[in-house]
Structure 1
Amino acid sequence: MSGWRSREARAFRSAWAGLIGALRDERHMRFHAVAATVVILLGLWLEVSRTDWLWLLLAIAGVWSAELFNTAIERTVDRISTETHSLARAAKDSAAGAVLVMAIFALAVGLIVLGPPMWRMIVHA
């Protein structure tokens, strides 16, 4: 049983190191971290419902996951070869496109969930 725990602990440490490394090294991950913080603070301030929290957290997790996959693909492609190749470019562009799709989804969720209560606060202020 201790071998299983040890492997699980190593896997968790590796995953954590990947997240921290991406936050340290990737400008876009830092941007997403700031955006997530703003969304969370707005959600707390506006006292959104539990269901709305699920949507907000799904959007945040989706963007972070997409950005982590994008980082992994970019680093892998860069490690394989330094020369420019159309397939390498296509792989990187596709990964970046996945982040864009998720970011657009997150923006839509933010507008749907946070927009109406913010609008009510502005109108009633």
Structure 2
Amino acid sequence: LGLTVCTILALEAVNSAIEAVVDLVSPDYHELARTAKDAAAGAMVFAVIGSLLVAVAIFGPRLWALVMG
């Protein structure tokens, strides 16, 4: 679980760096800049989904047993 949290934090830093570099290189709107930012954000979405799946795999059985009694 700690590894997934660290992965999310690292990817968020990479996402922020990509957005900053794109803004520096291309302050005006450009389709390639939008594509780069969207791809970085998409990577974050997949990482978050993966971390949620890990959390469900770890905590799901216990929560299910707790809820079902």
Deviations 1:23-51 (Å, cap 9, x if unpaired)?
Answer: xxxxxxxxxxxxxxxxxxxxxxxxxxxxx
Question: Does 1:100 pair with 2:45?
Answer: yes
Q: What is the CA RMSD across the aligned residues, in angstroms?
A: 1.0
Structure with max Cα Rg? 1
In structure 2, runs of 5+ residues without a counterpart are none
Alignment of 1:14-93 (within 5 A): 56-93=1-38
Deviations 1:56-82 (Å, cap 9, x if unpaired)?
Answer: 112111111111100000011111221
In structure 1, runs of 5+ residues without a counterpart are 1-55
Tell me the TM-score normalized by structure 1.
0.52
Per the alignment, residue 120 of structure 1 pairs with 65
**Identity over aligned residues, as a percent?**
39
Higher RCO (CA < 8 A, seq sep 6+):
2
Per the alignment, residue 40 of structure 1 pairs with none
Number of aligned residues? 69
Aligned-partner Cα distance in 2 for 1:68–1:114:
27
**Which consecutive aligned stretches of 4+ in structure 1 deviate over 6 angstroms post-superposition?**
none
